[in-house]
Amino acid sequence: MNIHIISVVPELLESPFAHSIMKRAAEKGLLHITVHHLRKWAVNEYGMVDDYQFGGGAGMVMMCEPLVKAIEELNRNFHFDEIIYLTPDGETFNQQIANSLSLKGSLLFICGHYKGIDQRVRDHFITREISIGDFVMSGGELGAAVIVDAVGRLIPGVLNDETSALFDSFQDNLLAPPVYTRPEEFRGWKVPEVLMSGNHRKIEEWRFEQAVARTTERRPDLLRD
C-alpha cells in the first residue's frame, strides 16, 4: 500500500512511522509512507499557505492554491483510491472504516490546520472526510498517524500472526476479552482455569462470553449496532 500525507508540520509524523509495526511494515515493503511539506507549493517565497478568512472571524484558513497544486501534482504521478481530509466534522473513524481502507492500494491524506482548509478544495478534490473523535486538535497530523497505524496493521503480512487482527476489539462489534500470560499465579492472583485446560472449544466459549460481558458493561451501544 502507498500512503501520501500533505502537512504543514511534517515533523509531527516522523516518530509515529519510525518504530514498531509501522517500521516493520515499511522494511517488508508492504507499506510505503511519504509525507509532503505543503510549503513546497506555497504561493510566495515566504512559504505562505494560509490567509485570513473572508467574512472575518478568528483563525487562519489553508489556501486553495497550495493544496490544489499539491494534489494535482501528486495525482499526475499516483492514482489515489481515496483523497481523505482529516476534520472534526468528518465521519467518525472506526474499525469498519479501517478494514475498508486496508483494501485500497493508494491513499492521500490532507492534514487540516488552523481553522481548516478552503471549502472549494473539499468540494472538488476530497473524496472522504474522517474524524478520529468528537474533539478538536491543533491539526490533522496525529489523526492521520492514528488512521495509518490502524489501517497498516491490517495489511496481509504486516503482523507476524495475521490472524491476530481478526480478534481485535470492534472487529465483530465486541470488545476483546481479558488476556493473560506467565506466570500462572502472581501474588495469589490466578489465571482462569479454563485457559489452562487445553480444551480449545471451552476456551473459545469462555472468550466469547467474556467479550459479550465486557461489551455489555462498557459499550452496550456496540451490541445495539
Question: Could you tell me the pTM of the whole model?
Answer: 0.90
Cβ atoms 42, 148 nearer than 8 A: no
Instruction: Look at residue 87 and tell me if it is in a domain.
Output: yes
Q: Are 141 and 203 in a shared domain?
A: no
Instruction: Look at residue 101 and tell me if it is in a domain.
Output: yes
Can you tell me the distance from the alpha carbon of 36 to that of 99, in angstroms, rounded to the nearest whole number?
Answer: 25
CATH number of the CATH domain containing 121:
3.40.1280.10
Can you tell me the distance from the alpha carbon of 195 to that of 212, in angstroms, rounded to the nearest whole number?
Answer: 17
pLDDT for residue 20 is more than 70: yes
Q: Which domain holds residue 146?
A: 2-152
Pairing of strands 82-92, 128-131: parallel
Q: Are 179 and 125 in a shared domain?
A: no
Instruction: Look at residue 58 and tell me if it is in a domain.
Output: yes
Instruction: Look at residue 163 and tell me if it is in a domain.
Output: no
Q: What is the pLDDT of residues 49-102, one digit of tens each?
A: 999 999 999 999 999 999 999 999 999 999 999 999 999 999 999 999 999 999
Which pLDDT band holds residue 224 (cuts at 50, 70, 90)? Answer: confident
Provide the 3-class DSSP secondary structure of residue 83. Answer: strand
Q: What is the pLDDT of residues 142-185, one digit of tens each?
A: 999 999 999 999 999 999 775 566 666 677 889 999 999 999 99
Number of domains in the chain: 2
Whose cell is 478568528? That residue is 58
Instruction: Look at residue 159 and tell me if it is in a domain.
Output: no
